[in-house]
Structure 1
Amino acid sequence: MPTPVAARYIGVSETKLRGLGLPRKKLGGKRVYDRVDLDAYADRLPYEGAQPEADECDKLFGVVAS
């Protein structure tokens, strides 16, 4: 997605998005962000307040501490 759309998608300004160093892809002469990369970035951000409850599968595979 183009920069303005990608910035709105994750809730930051275009300037902030460009400064995050996220990978972009070439689409003809344009540079676009992949939604998967934007989601991965957002998934790495820490939660504010209480952590969400981990399900049993996450615990078994070591995704979160038991």
Structure 2
Amino acid sequence: MPAPAAAHYIGVSESTLRTLNLPRRKLGAKRVYDRADLDAYADALPYDGAVEELPEW
């Protein structure tokens, strides 16, 4: 996805997104972010505050 959409997806500004050094893919002359990479980045962030135990499925 393009930078504006990727930034919105993870809840940061475009300028912050560009400082995160996330991988981008080439789509013709454009550079886009892969949602899987954005999800992996967000999943690796630490939790803030208490975390409830998740039920085992």
**Shift of residue 47 of structure 1?**
0.6
Alpha carbon RMSD of aligned pairs, Å? 1.3
Q: Where does structure 1 differ by over 3 angstroms across 4 or more consecutive aligned residues?
A: 54-57
Instruction: Note if 1:24 corresponds to 2:51.
Output: no
Name the TM-score, length of structure 1 as normaliser.
0.79
Aligned to 1:44: 44
Higher relative contact order (CA 8 A, sep 6+): 2
Partner letter of residue 18 of structure 2? R
Q: Percent identity?
A: 70
Q: Which has the larger radius of gyration?
A: 1
What is the alpha-carbon distance in structure 1 between the residues aligned to residue 8 and residue 54 of structure 2?
Answer: 29
SS in 1 for 2:26: strand
Structure 2 residues without counterparts, runs of 5 or longer = none
Structure 1 residues without counterparts, runs of 5 or longer = 58-66
